Amino acid sequence: MTQELILETRGLTKEFRGFTAVDDVNLQVREGHIHALIGPNGAGKTTVFNLLTKFLPPTRGEILYRGKPITGMKANEIARLGLVRSFQISAVFAHMTALENVRVALQRRLGTSFHFWKSERTLDHLNDRAMELLDEVGLREYADVLTVEMPYGRKRALEVATTLALEPTMMLLDEPTQGMGAEDVDRIVELIRRVARGRTVLMVEHNLSVVSRLCDRITVLARGAVLAEGDYASVSADPRVREAYMGSEAVEEGASA
């Protein structure tokens, strides 16, 4: 495993009308790691994601991707770099089938996405690849189903397939297991473990058992600032972390799982 930094922030800060949601964050994500961003509700985790993917402009600070500043880029350009995010609330194209969801991600590379004079049948040759991706996340039998009609856990898996269609070098997942039953959680954990091979993952996660099972490194955020950083053992042993966030029971629960 390489130890190169893939993503780095320096003094990243976001203020909303005087309220500091992200406070001078220096984050370092190593290539090939599954890196967790944890912290209590309202700590600023989603806001960090929005800053990293340029859905929000930072008030101050710098973002570097493989050592190059990307602070001035647009959200869609970040995605084209290979840095693809998911959303805290499931983000699918509801009135398209599962296959079409994946295909719309695949079609970007064809370079015909502005071609309004071509038939959509010119996209049919992407169907096989789309099926492979659906297969990879166990959604083969949902290919033809409209996404609105799919169960919640399956929608989240579909998001992963759609993201994989872009062949990202780094995935940012905002609470991929939120609101799921234990069975779905296990499925998603396995899925993340599998797709993280050869990739970097930065994930926000509340479920500490998931964090302990998956993550190489953890950054704890509280009130917008970094409180602690390290592997699971050192972070969960940190008394400041226990006090600010986890509460001792939560840590033990997570560690024993």
Partner 1 sequence: MATTQTLTPAMERQRNARLRRGMLYLVLIAVGLAAPFVAYPVFLMKVLCFALFACAFNLLLGYAGLLSFGHAAFLATGGYVTGFLLSSYPGLTPELGILVGTLAAVVVGTLFGALAIRRQGIYFAMVTLALAQLVYFVFVQSPFTGGEDGLHGVPRGALFGLISLRSNLAMYYFVFAVFLIGFAIIQRTVHSPYGQVLKAIRENEPRAVSLGYNVDAYKLLAFVISAGLAGLAGSTKTVVFQLASLTDAHWHMSGEVILMTLLGGVGTLFGPLVGAGLVVSLQHQLAQSPLGNWVSVILGLIFVLCVLSFRSGIVGEIAKSVRKNFK
Q: Which stretch binds partner 1 (CB under 8 A): 1-9, 30-38, 71-79, 216-224?
A: 71-79
Nearer of residues 164 and 227 to ligand ATP, judged by Cβ: 227
- By CB under 6 A, tell whether 21 contacts ligand ATP: yes
**Least separation, in Å, of the C-beta of 49 and Mg ion?**
8
Select from 69, 110, 167, 257 the one that contacts partner 1 (CB under 8 A). Answer: 110
Residue 57 found at the interface with partner 1 (CB under 8 A)? no
Q: Name which of partner 1, Mg ion, ligand ATP, none residue 41 binds, using a CB cut-off of 5 to 8 Å depending on partner kind.
A: ligand ATP
Minimum CB distance to Mg ion, residue 152 (Å):
17
Say whether residue 86 binds partner 1 (CB under 8 A).
yes
The footprint of ligand ATP on residues 81-120 (CB under 6 A) is 88
Q: How far apart are CA 165 and CA 129, in angstroms?
A: 9
Residue 85 CA to residue 121 CA, distance in Å, equals: 29
Beta pairing partners, 19: 16
Stretch that binds Mg ion, among 39-47, 75-83, 90-98, 131-139 (CB under 5 A): 39-47
Phi-psi region of 210 (alpha: psi -120 to 50; beta: other; left: phi over 0): alpha
Q: DSSP letter string over 177-236?
A: TTT--HHHHHHHHHHHHHHTTTSEEEEE-S-HHHHHHH-SEEEEEETTEEEEEE-HHHHH
Report how far residue 17's alpha carbon sits from residue 145's, in angstroms, rounded to the nearest whole number. 44
**Residue written as token pair 């799919």:** 150
- Which one of ligand ATP, partner 1, Mg ion, none is in contact with 225 (Cβ closer than 5 to 8 A by kind)? none
Distance CA 125, CA 110 (A): 11
The only residue of 17, 95, 125, 197 in contact with partner 1, by rule CB under 8 A: 95
Q: What is the rounded distance in angstroms from the CA atom of residue 54 to the CA atom of residue 127?
A: 31
Residues 256 and 169: their CA atoms lie apart, in Å, by 32
Q: Which residues bind partner 1 (CB under 8 A)?
A: 53, 55, 74-77, 79-80, 84-87, 91-97, 99-100, 103-105, 107-108, 110, 112-120, 122-124, 127-128, 131, 140, 143-144, 162, 166
Site residues (vs ligand ATP, CB under 6 A)? 16, 21, 39, 41-47, 88
